[in-house]
Chain A
Amino acid sequence: GESVGLHLPTLSVQEGDNSIINCAYSNSASDYFIWYKQESGKGPQFIIDIRSNMDKRQGQRVTVLLNKTVKHLSLQIAATQPGDSAVYFCAENNAGNMLTFGGGTRLMVKP
């Protein structure tokens, strides 16, 4: 079946550096993508979203890039801070209006 997946389970970066978290999706019919941040023992927290008619969207310190040609999604975090340490999930919204989550990447920020 269709799925969303991540390849790197852990990303370790130095405080102040930029972080890039990648995600591959396989459902070409998906039209809406979201990045979530999940801290230990908490529910997912919305970070940023993007629709399929866009290839880039920027928020505060975060940017999401969408490459529909290769079905790739990335989350860029500028000037990574210790508070950014968490697990990050990409999710795609499919035609049934349901979310399919990727496997997650743990971001560790070293002070």
Chain B
Amino acid sequence: GAVVSQHPSWVICKSGTSVKIECRSLDFQATTMFWYRQFPKQSLMLMATSNEGSKATYEQGVEKDKFLINHASLTLSTLTVTSAHPEDSSFYICSARAPLAGDEQYFGPGTRLTVT
């Protein structure tokens, strides 16, 4: 149980275009989902916390108008990278927390974004 999926697993887009990444909890309902960014050979950095039905909370330095997060249901959160630039190329990872599972976060497999 507690499986989180992401789609797509990798994507290549051109500068100036927008890309949407989906995060789904497959066998549980996630009231809270988190989005992380990971650059090569670096650690995971929290971008934002997403609660179902409310606006996401962004970490300092993360542009909310550039990284649009929508947590429309208890099993789906989306991250849209708008007007992507090469410096947005990164590994984006989501995680989900189940209401009755305490503090543990279940991580997705990640999405590799390359902006050309």
Contacts and interface: CB of A to CB of B under 8 A. Distances in A.
Interface of A: 32, 34, 36, 41-46, 49, 89, 93, 97-104
Interface residues of B, number: 22
Q: Is the interface of B mostly helix, strand, loop or mixed?
A: strand
Q: Is the interface of A mostly helix, strand, loop or mixed?
A: strand
A43 B3 CA distance: 12
A89 B44 CA distance: 9
Given A93-B103, A97-B103, A42 B110 contact: yes
Contacts of B112: 41
A101 B47 CA distance: 12
Interface of B: 4, 6, 34, 42-46, 49, 91, 93, 95, 97, 103-110, 112
A43 B104 contact: no
Nearest to A42: B109
Given A44-B44, A44-B93, A89-B43, A98 B34 contact: yes
B107 A102 contact: no
Please indicate which of the listed interface residues B4, B103, B104 has the most CB atoms of chain A within 10 Å of its own CB.
B103
B33 to A, nearest CB: 12
Contacts of B109: 42-43
Contacts of A43: 4, 6, 93, 107-110
A102 B45 CA distance: 10
Contacts of A49: 104
B47 to A, nearest CB: 11
A103 B45 CA distance: 10
